[in-house]
Amino acid sequence: MPKPSASPAATTAPAQSPARRPLKLALRLFLLLLITYTVWCVIVYVKQDSLIFPRSAIAPVSPQDEQPQIGEQLLSLSRDGTPLCVILWMPADLSRKSSLAPGQKPLPALIYIHGNAERIEHVRAAALTDPYKNLGFAVATLEYRGYSPLAPGEPSQDDITRDLVTLYDALASDPRIDPSRIVFHGRSLGGGFACDLARYRSPAALVLESTFTSIASFSSRMGVPSFLCKHPLRNDEVLPTLSAPVLIMHTTSDTLIPISHARTLKSLTKDAELIEMPGGHSECPADFDAYTAAITNFLKKHGYGK
């Protein structure tokens, strides 16, 4: 008898086209890179709070630096039930008074906002507000949330800016202070908050020290899109809207926030003066006398001074 022919199902399947192998390999590689990049973006998004507010990197505060100076007082301020840590320094003749003497003029005031790896005590120890004190300013310094036992909570752009608005309003309502002469000074990250405060309250003048065009602009360094930045602090959007005079101070060898940021900010500002100083980011001010002279001359030029 003749043998039955082989079933069609038993025939061997045709081999895969060699031309399709590189395409499948490329697709697998693309998917691997996409997954890796997505994981990286998630890591950066989650870790950005500790990068922008590196509380673990803050230098210890010595017991001596914790001691208040003569004329300092802790303001009793709160927002949404959360106490704020604000140190107010007043000249000796007003430090223990709640009102002015007859004929006495109200004082100009400074809101000083420090960097991300500092605390109020470091500002005090470095005498960074002395140029203002020497010109008779009242000086207020806000501590970031989570940076001190006296400042509970977690730091964020929204909360710190709203805390600063609360501080501004308290100063503006103080009978000892002239509400039309409140100056903002922001150092490094504090420059971002000084500009953000200026969105809501108009400064009489603005001093920016070692600051950036925006936090969002650093996204490219990390290789992530800027929309993932939770605290963008867009100084480059605020400065073009200001009519107040602006002093920008920056060190030429700053590798953390390059001098190009300061030059860009000056170009965006209607009335700005740029002082370029030697040194790196953490060395500003390397020359305290030059730092004092730059602030003093700027303020006197715009009508502040004894």
Secondary-structure percent of the chain, ordered helix, strand, coil, rounded to 5: 40, 20, 40
Of 188, 88, 64, 198, the C-alpha closest to 138 is 88
Structure tokens at 240: 């073009």
- In this predicted structure, the answer to whether residue 207 has a pLDDT above a threshold of 60 is yes
Within 10 A of 125 (CB to CB), how many other CB atoms are there? 16
- In this predicted structure, the answer to whether residue 137 has a pLDDT above a threshold of 90 is yes
**pLDDT tens profile 213-264:** 999 998 888 888 888 899 999 999 999 999 999 999 999 999 999 999 999 9
Q: Are 244 and 216 in contact (CB under 8 A)?
A: no
pLDDT at 15: 56
Find out whether the peptide bond into 285 is cis, omega within 30 degrees of 0. yes
- In this predicted structure, the answer to whether residue 9 has a pLDDT above a threshold of 60 is no
In the chain, DSSP finds a helix count (H) and a strand count (E) of: 10, 10
pLDDT at 213: 97
pTM: 0.88
In three-state form (DSSP H/G/I as H, E/B as E, the rest C), the secondary structure along 252-291 is CCCCCCCHHHHHHHHHHCCCEEEEEECCCHHHCCCCHHHH
Of 206, 216, 252, the C-alpha closest to 44 is 216
| DSSP SS3 for 246 | strand
pLDDT at 5: 54
pLDDT at 300: 95
| DSSP SS3 for 120 | helix
- In this predicted structure, the answer to whether residue 14 has a pLDDT above a threshold of 80 is no
- In this predicted structure, the answer to whether residue 114 has a pLDDT above a threshold of 70 is yes
Domains of the chain by range and CATH? 50-97+105-301 (3.40.50.1820)
- In this predicted structure, the answer to whether residue 166 has a pLDDT above a threshold of 80 is yes
For residues 298 and 273, what is the distance between their CA atoms, to the nearest angstrom? 8
